[in-house]
Amino acid sequence: MRRALVLLALFPLAACVSAPPPPPREYGEIPANKVWARKDGQMMSSNPALLAQGKTDLATCRKESETDQPNRLDLTNFKGCMDGKGYYLIDRQA
């Protein structure tokens, strides 16, 4: 009986130990060789309305991701915000 009580007492702790830790957060700036592209494949450069929306989305996500240090964004939050608005990072074309 005592052994069963000990096991029951330790059982809730097993869930805490088995959960993986959250991924580390990234801080800094988006590299200069990367640009944001739309997930739906539409080109912003040839559509003024999409370009304006992209600039607005970028400014909104940048503002939400600012840290207390200049030129250091919470990149994890920034990328998540842009992902939620329909963008992803690609290599800049030369």
Q: Which pLDDT tens digit goes with each residue over 50-65?
A: 999 999 999 999 999 9
Give the pLDDT score at 12: 60
- Write down the pTM of the prediction: 0.72
12 within some domain? no
Cβ atoms 73, 65 nearer than 8 A? yes
7 within some domain? no
Cβ atoms 71, 31 nearer than 8 A? no
15 within some domain? no
Phi-psi region of 71 (alpha: psi -120 to 50; beta: other; left: phi over 0): left
User: Domain range spanning residue 74?
Assistant: 26-91
* DSSP SS3 for 60: helix
14 within some domain? no
- Residue with token string 């994890």: 76
Task: Summarize pLDDT for 31-48 with one digit per residue, the tens.
Answer: 999 999 999 999 998 999
- Paired tokens of 36: 């944001």
20 within some domain? no
Q: Band the pLDDT of 78: cuts 50, 70, 90.
A: very high
Q: Tally the domains of the chain.
A: 1
